[in-house]
Structure formats: C-alpha cells, structure tokens
Structure 1
Amino acid sequence: MKIVTAIDSMKGSLSSIQANQIVAEVFTTFGHEVSSVAIADGGEGTVAALVENNQGQLLFTEVQTLNGQYLAASYGWFAEKKLAVIESAQASGIQFLNGTVATHPKNTSSYGTGELILAAVEQGAKTIVIGLGGTGTVDGGIGLLSALGVRFFDENRQELPAKGSSLGAIADYSFENVPAKLQQIQFIIAADVFSPLTGDKGAVKMFGRQKGLQAHEIADYEAAMQHYQDVVHPEKENKPGDGAAGGLGFAIRHFLKGIVVSGFDYIAEQTKLTEKIEQADLIITGEGQIDAQSLQGKVPVGIAHIAQKAQVPVLAFVGSCTGEAAQFAEVGISVIFPIIDQVMTLETALKEAEQNLHRAAERAARLLALYN
C-alpha cells in the first residue's frame, strides 16, 4: 500500500518532521511504501516544513521576544529564489507568555518579528513569506513596523513605545526612517486564521483572552485597536486575515502591501501535496488536538479536503479529540486515532508523545494488516 504521511506538529512535543518519521518507520516495518511531507498552516513548523521539503537552509539572528528579552531566532533561506520564510511565533510566540504583567498584551510587542524581516532584507531577500500562527501579541503590528523604521506619535507629537498600550494613543505616524529597499520586496502573508482586525471575530474579541486579556479589558482594548485602525487606515477596510497574529496581518497588508494567502494552501502548493495524495492509497495526518476550530482550516482538515476529492481515505492521529466523529467524517477524515492509551497528565502526555504515537501507529498498522 502507498501511504503518504503529512502530520502537523504537536505543540510542545513533536515537530511535523518527527511525527512523520515515527509513523513512517512503523508502517514501513509492516511492508507499506511510505513517503512523508512536512506540513504546517502558517504557524509553528512553517519554516521547518518548507526548509525540509525544498532543501533550504536555516539562518539565525538575534531578536527581541515579545517581552523584550533576546534570543537567537531562525528563518528559512532559499538562496536561488532569494526567498526568506519567517515565523512570527519565533520572536512573538505565545510560548513566551507567562501570565505576568510583563507579558500582558499592553506590554508586549511584535518588534522581534520586524527584526527577522530586517535580517532577511539584509540577506538579499526579494520575496518574504511570513507565517502568522501561534503569536502571543495583540499590538496591531506596530512593534513589527517600528523595527522597520515606522514611528508612531501621540497628539503632542511625542513618539510612542512599540507595544499594545500605545494603540489608543496614536495620532500620527511617519515613514521617514523606513529603508527604501522594503518597497521592492514582495510580502506574502501565510495566515492560519482569516479574522478581520476588529469586530466580534477580530484580533481582540476572538483571540485576546488566550493572549492574556481579562474579560473586563476586552471592550477598552477593542476600542484602542479600532482607534489605531481609524488613524492609519481611514477607509476602514476590514479584510480577512487582518486580525491574524494580533493584527500583524493588517500591518503587513496595509503598510507593506502584503498578499494574504492560506498558510496551509501555500505549503501544500510548495510541496506538491495534491499530486502526492492523488497517487496514494492512504493518507495519514494528525495534530495535537482536533476540535471544532480544526474545521476552520487546520492542517488535518485541509489535507482531508484534498484527499476527499481524490477519494483517498484519511487516518488522523491526535493527542485529544473533541467534537462528533460524524463532523470530521463529513470533511474527509475517515477515522481518528487518539494516541493516548492510558490515563496520564498533560505533562506526561507531552513528555511521552514519541512513545504514545509509536504505539498508536502500531495499533493502526496491525488493524490495517487484517484487511490486506
């Protein structure tokens, strides 16, 4: 049997590459022909997936994290195409949030993602793909823009710090210090959600709570984000993807003329995933948690849509599952295999993800052997 594995990373435990390798080794042992595609949706693992599949290289540069600390962050570089691939989560990721005042949305910034862009520009990039999933900031992208030289001012012409607390005070801005070469670069926004910047499904109301905003803070923060949008974009055009990554989608689209695409669709195209699925007998995918949000276009569902058109069955390995099996079957996921086979804490499940996935893959392979 020809099998294609395309498993998303399982946050906090396994990368897409690691998960694919575990499953491929098991099914190969059972006599199947297995090929693997590292996959992502614009969030964590986007750079690794594209570098793995397209023989790129990882370059490193020191950047600020969302709370102002420093680390060496990586981005993907494809010299022949002069293409750079950046994950906003590398510098501005939700993994840096710790529940303290320092990582409250008012005090965090996407500045480090802007520093990654600058590093890619200095490397000679002509096209920059920016994956917007997994971020912990809600600053409308002013941090990223400040790193590129954009300056924001209050009504007294005092320059504002590049963090969330400044959104409601912005009265003007300046491009005076922005490098001219940025205008010659094509920016592609690889988004995993298509929320607008403001409104009920926007960056604040939809995702603010998970990034540290309290319920009683939402209304005021939404008003501040709306004020920012009104000042820098009087036409008030609210496009899908603008709310991705706490407003980074809006900043890159509006200020840098970026084009919004589905992160999953972009990676699927770059890896020729559709052609590989069409030639397979079985697709194996998966993610850490499959739920109602997955139906909005996360990796397993995106893969299932392609496989459904090609009439190829899909098996999904997941850490946990909420929702009705019929919902997932309807979109093309034939069967879901939870990889947890005994009672354990989340900490243990993350720590033992490799062993858990290996055992689940063996169970699935033995079941498949009954019918072959």
Structure 2
Amino acid sequence: MKIVTAIDSMKGSLTSKQANQIVAEVFRDEKIEVTEIAIADGGEGTVEAFVTNANGEVISVKCHNLLGDEITADYGWLGEEKTAVIESAATCGIQFLKGTSETHPHNTNSYGLGEQILSAAQKGAKRIIIGLGGTGTIDGGIGLLACLGVEFFDSQNQLVSPIPRNFKKITRVETQKMPMMLKELEIIVAADVKSTITGEKGAVYLFGEQKGLQSNELATFEEEMTHYSKLLLEGAESQEGDGAAGGIGLALRAILQAKVVSGLDLIAEQSHLPEIIQQADLVITGEGKIDSQSLQGKVPVGIGAMAQKHQVPVLVFVGAMQGESDEFEKAGLSVIIPIVNEVTTLNEALMYAEQNLRQAAERTKKLLFLLT
C-alpha cells in the first residue's frame, strides 16, 4: 500500500514537516510505503516546505522588521537551482504588531523584505520565490521598493519617507537607481489571496482591521492607497493578487515584473506531488481548522482536487471542523477526522497537538485494517 502525507502546518503547534513525520511514523510498516511531502500555500511554512523537499539550506540575515527594529530572519536557499525562497511574514509579519500607535498601519512598512531580496540577489539567486501571507503591513510594498532603490518624490521634488502615512504626498516614482541585478531576476509571488489592490475586496477593506485600522479609518486609508497605487500602475488595471500581503503583491508585480501564482500549486510542482498522488492508494492531508473558507483554496481542498482526478481517497486530520461533510466530500475530501479527543481550551489543544495527532493516526490505521 502506498500512502502520501501532505499535511499543512497547524498554526501555533506543528509545522508541516512535523505533522507529516508523526503520521508517517504511525502508518509506515513492512506493508505500507509512506512518502512525506512538506506543503504550504505561500504563507507560514513555505520556506520549510521548499527546503525540505529540495534538500536546501536555511540562510539567516540581519534585517529589519515592520517597525524598523533590527532582527535576524531566515530564507531558504536551493543551491542547485540558484533559487531563494522568502516568506514576507519573516520581516513584516503580523506577529510584530503591538496594537499601539507605533504599529498603526500608517507607520509600518516592508523594508525588511527588501533587505532579504537584496541578500538573495547578492548571493547569486537567479530566481526568488516570495510567499505572501501572515503580514501585518498595508504599505503597498513601498518599504521594500525603497530598500531596492526606488525613490518617491513629493511636489517639491523632495524624497518622501517610505511609509503609508506619506502616500498622498507622493507625486513621482523613480526606478533608475534600482540595481541592474534586480531587473534581471525572475521573481515569483506565491499567493492564494486573489484580491486587487483597492475596492471592497482589496488590501485595505479585506484585511485592514486585522492589521490595526479602525473601521472609521478604512475609507481614508483606501483613498491614500488608491493615490499611491495609481502611481505604480501608470494607467494599467490592478490584477488579482495585487492586494496580497497589504499590497506587496502590487509592488512586486508592477515594479519587478513578478509573476503571481498559487502557492500550493508552486510547491506541488516542485515536489512532483500530482504525480506522486497518482501512484498512491491513499492521501493524508490536514490543517489546524477546516471550514467553509477552506473551500476557497486552502491546502486540503487543493490536494483533494489533485487526488479526485485519479480517484484516490483523501483523509484529513484537523484540529477543528466547521461545515457540512458533504461539502468537503464534493471537494475530494473523503473523510475528515478531528484530532481533539475531549472538550478543551485552545491552549491545551495546541499544547497536546502532537499527542492528539499521533493518537488519531493510530485509531485511523486500526480502522483501515479492520476494513481491508
């Protein structure tokens, strides 16, 4: 019997690699061959997934977070392919927000992401994959662009500090000082957020309140973002993915000609997941919580679609489940198995995630063998 494990990270408890290892240890025996594929959708775990699947390495660099504080952040390096893999959240993640005026979206930026891009380019990268997810900024990528040599001027021809508070002051954007090596890079944005830069489902209205905006600030911030984005777009239309990571998607596409792709599809291609699934008898996936939003493109549903093409059944281990089972069955998810055994707090569920996942896997294996 051939089993594939491709379990997404369970936020706050287990990485994709850890979850796969736990389940593989339970199922693997003399009759069962298990292939472990680290997986992510462009957010948390993207670097680990690429590094694990390609036997790459992790590079640590000194850079700055969204507040301008010096930190050490990691990115993945796939030497044979001369490819760097960066998670935008490593420098501008929502984990750095403190809920103070200092961390208000008007005052934070993505400069640190630019520092990571520069580091990778200087290391000799020919291609950079940037995962957009879990960010705490809504800066339209102005910080990272400034780090890469893009200049923003006001009506008095004075340089403008690259923070969203100054969006409305900007009248001109110049890219002449960007290093040539950046213009020659292939940049791929891994994002499963389909929003445009502005509008009801844009960077401001969709995620602004999560990142510190008050509801009565949304309209003003939207006006400021509209002014700024028009300067980057130069008359062109915003595209799906531009609003990802608070508009970082727009900056990378409009100025660095980045290609925006599905994060899950990118990792699936790199790891040959569709071909591996085709040869499997069973696929095991999972995530922390599955609900109706998961049907919009979360990892388990994406894997369910791959398996459905070849009539391969899919088991899904989850921390929590909301929604109707038949909805998920139509999406290719055969059985969803919550791993929590009793009424518990969120902290306890996170603390005992490894134990709960292992026990759920053991029960599932016994059931499978009763049925075969």
TM-score by length of 1: 0.97
The farther-off stretch of 213-222 and 97-106 is 97-106
User: C-alpha displacement at 1:93, in angstroms?
Assistant: 1.2
User: C-alpha displacement at 1:354, in angstroms?
Assistant: 1.0
Supply the AA of the counterpart residue of 1:61: V
In the other structure, the counterpart of 1:112 is 112
Whether contact under 8 Å (1:229, 1:236) holds in the other structure is: no
The farther-off stretch of 64-73 and 153-162 is 153-162
The farther-off stretch of 314-323 and 173-182 is 173-182
In the alignment, the residues of structure 1 paired with residue 162 and residue 31 of structure 2 have an alpha-carbon distance, to the nearest angstrom, of: 56
In the alignment, the residues of structure 2 paired with residue 172 and residue 258 of structure 1 have an alpha-carbon distance, to the nearest angstrom, of: 22
In the other structure, the counterpart of 2:253 is 253
Q: Does 1:124 align with 2:124?
A: yes
Tell me: CA distance 1:213–1:236, structure 2 relative to 1, closer, same or farther (3 Å). farther
In the alignment, the residues of structure 2 paired with residue 271 and residue 213 of structure 1 have an alpha-carbon distance, to the nearest angstrom, of: 39
In the alignment, the residues of structure 1 paired with residue 30 and residue 14 of structure 2 have an alpha-carbon distance, to the nearest angstrom, of: 23
Whether contact under 8 Å (2:196, 2:238) holds in the other structure is: yes
Q: Deviation per CA, 1:40-92: give whole Å up to 9, x if none.
A: 11111111111111111111101111122222111111222211111111111
Supply the AA of the counterpart residue of 2:279: Q
Unaligned runs of 5+ in 1: none
Supply the AA of the counterpart residue of 1:140: G
In the other structure, the counterpart of 2:74 is 74
In the alignment, the residues of structure 1 paired with residue 361 and residue 161 of structure 2 have an alpha-carbon distance, to the nearest angstrom, of: 50
User: C-alpha displacement at 1:169, in angstroms?
Assistant: 2.6
Q: How does 1:111-260 map to 2 (within 5 A)?
A: 111-260=111-260
In the alignment, the residues of structure 1 paired with residue 307 and residue 354 of structure 2 have an alpha-carbon distance, to the nearest angstrom, of: 26
Q: Deviation per CA, 1:84-113: give whole Å up to 9, x if none.
A: 111111111122223222222112111111
User: C-alpha displacement at 1:321, in angstroms?
Assistant: 1.7
Any idea what SS the aligned residue of 2:350 has? helix
In the alignment, the residues of structure 1 paired with residue 167 and residue 291 of structure 2 have an alpha-carbon distance, to the nearest angstrom, of: 33
In the alignment, the residues of structure 1 paired with residue 271 and residue 319 of structure 2 have an alpha-carbon distance, to the nearest angstrom, of: 25
User: C-alpha displacement at 1:180, in angstroms?
Assistant: 1.7
In the alignment, the residues of structure 2 paired with residue 33 and residue 25 of structure 1 have an alpha-carbon distance, to the nearest angstrom, of: 11
In the other structure, the counterpart of 1:265 is 265
Any idea what SS the aligned residue of 1:80 has? helix
Supply the AA of the counterpart residue of 1:305: A
In the other structure, the counterpart of 1:354 is 354
User: C-alpha displacement at 1:236, in angstroms?
Assistant: 4.1
Whether contact under 8 Å (1:28, 1:34) holds in the other structure is: yes
Any idea what SS the aligned residue of 1:6 has? strand
Whether contact under 8 Å (1:43, 1:132) holds in the other structure is: yes
Q: How does 1:49-64 map to 2 (within 5 A)?
A: 49-64=49-64
Supply the AA of the counterpart residue of 2:352: E
In the other structure, the counterpart of 2:315 is 315
User: C-alpha displacement at 1:30, in angstroms?
Assistant: 9.1
In the other structure, the counterpart of 2:25 is 25
In the alignment, the residues of structure 2 paired with residue 364 and residue 140 of structure 1 have an alpha-carbon distance, to the nearest angstrom, of: 46
In the alignment, the residues of structure 1 paired with residue 41 and residue 230 of structure 2 have an alpha-carbon distance, to the nearest angstrom, of: 30
Whether contact under 8 Å (2:232, 2:255) holds in the other structure is: no
User: C-alpha displacement at 1:292, in angstroms?
Assistant: 2.2
In the alignment, the residues of structure 2 paired with residue 160 and residue 350 of structure 1 have an alpha-carbon distance, to the nearest angstrom, of: 44
In the other structure, the counterpart of 1:344 is 344
In the other structure, the counterpart of 1:16 is 16
Unaligned runs of 5+ in 2: none
Give 4+ residue runs of structure 1 displaced > 3 Å after superposition: none
Supply the AA of the counterpart residue of 1:52: T
In the alignment, the residues of structure 1 paired with residue 198 and residue 177 of structure 2 have an alpha-carbon distance, to the nearest angstrom, of: 28
Whether contact under 8 Å (1:30, 1:365) holds in the other structure is: no
Tell me: CA distance 1:287–1:168, structure 2 relative to 1, closer, same or farther (3 Å). farther
In the alignment, the residues of structure 2 paired with residue 360 and residue 169 of structure 1 have an alpha-carbon distance, to the nearest angstrom, of: 56
In the alignment, the residues of structure 1 paired with residue 339 and residue 213 of structure 2 have an alpha-carbon distance, to the nearest angstrom, of: 33
Q: How does 1:82-121 map to 2 (within 5 A)?
A: 82-121=82-121
Q: How does 1:261-340 map to 2 (within 5 A)?
A: 261-340=261-340
Report the aligned-residue RMSD.
1.4
Any idea what SS the aligned residue of 2:207 has? coil
In the alignment, the residues of structure 1 paired with residue 31 and residue 366 of structure 2 have an alpha-carbon distance, to the nearest angstrom, of: 11
TM-score by length of 2: 0.97
User: C-alpha displacement at 1:176, in angstroms?
Assistant: 3.5
Any idea what SS the aligned residue of 2:73 has? strand
User: C-alpha displacement at 1:233, in angstroms?
Assistant: 1.8
Q: Does 1:36 align with 2:36?
A: yes
Whether contact under 8 Å (2:9, 2:40) holds in the other structure is: yes
Whether contact under 8 Å (2:232, 2:251) holds in the other structure is: no
In the alignment, the residues of structure 1 paired with residue 212 and residue 370 of structure 2 have an alpha-carbon distance, to the nearest angstrom, of: 49
Any idea what SS the aligned residue of 2:274 has? helix
Q: Deviation per CA, 1:312-351: give whole Å up to 9, x if none.
A: 1111111122222221111101111111111221122112
Identity across the alignment (%): 57
In the alignment, the residues of structure 1 paired with residue 114 and residue 140 of structure 2 have an alpha-carbon distance, to the nearest angstrom, of: 13
In the alignment, the residues of structure 2 paired with residue 163 and residue 32 of structure 1 have an alpha-carbon distance, to the nearest angstrom, of: 54
Any idea what SS the aligned residue of 2:44 has? coil
